[in-house]
Amino acid sequence: MRAISPAMFIAFRELLGMNKEQCAAYLRIDVRTLHRWESGRCPISFAAFELLRVIQESVTFKMSHPVWDGWFISMDGVLVSPDLGGNQGLFTPGRLNYIASQGTEASHLRREVNRLEAELNETKEENTQLRQMFVAQGVVDELAAMQNTISELMNRIATARIIQFPAAPIDQPQEIAA
């Protein structure tokens, strides 16, 4: 059986985030013994190394990061959130996969909503322009009606009976010679 190197032992200890004092306390050994193991002066206990390896591979250690504080995996394999009550805080692998797929679907739907909003804005702009043209057309129609009214008035004037009056003599002023 291959001996455990001090570097390997130190790597596992550091991977677990333990300083020498914490590791010694956890393994129930003296700090000087740990120092002798890590310096290579004494062979490292296989049981101590194996314990660190098992801890490193355990679910408990993997869930011991501060951001997972309070979370745990129940006996039936369900991830339990400390912040959510009832079924909302229970996460099975299937539910986690479903949540992840919902995020992808939501992303697709957001893109579709953005596309439809852009299309709607174009349609609103076109509608506004058409309404403005309609209002302008209303002014044109009103001007055309006024032109018809003026034409009718002009026609009435043109068909009126004209009475001729004799021209009155106009006295011309005399020029005064100077």
Q: What is the pLDDT of residues 109-130, one digit of tens each?
A: 999 999 999 999 999 999 888 8
| CA distance to 46, 103, 118, 133, 140, per residue, from 81 (Å) | 36, 19, 40, 61, 70
User: Would you say residue 101 lies in a domain?
Assistant: no
| pTM to 2 decimal places | 0.38
Q: Is 146 left (phi over 0), alpha (psi -120 to 50) or beta?
A: alpha
Indicate whether 63 pLDDT > 70: no
User: Would you say residue 139 lies in a domain?
Assistant: no
User: Would you say residue 166 lies in a domain?
Assistant: no
User: Would you say residue 144 lies in a domain?
Assistant: no
What is the chain's mean pLDDT, rounded? 84
Tens-digit pLDDT profile for residues 18-34 = 999 999 999 999 999 99
- pLDDT value of position 64: 65
Unique residue bearing structure tokens 């309404």: 131
Residue 30 to residue 16: CA distance in whole angstroms: 19
User: Would you say residue 117 lies in a domain?
Assistant: no
User: Would you say residue 19 lies in a domain?
Assistant: yes
The domain in which residue 21 lies consists of: 1-57
What is the arrangement of strands in the sheet containing 90-91, beginning at the earlier edge strand? 72-73, 79-80, 90-91
Based on the structure, what is the number of domains in the chain?
A: 1
Instruction: Give the number of other CB atoms < 10 A from CB of residue 4.
Output: 19
- pLDDT value of position 8: 92
User: Would you say residue 115 lies in a domain?
Assistant: no
User: Would you say residue 146 lies in a domain?
Assistant: no
Unique residue bearing structure tokens 């692998």: 93
* Contact between 6 and 39 (Cβ < 8 Å): yes
CATH of the domain at 24: 1.10.260.40
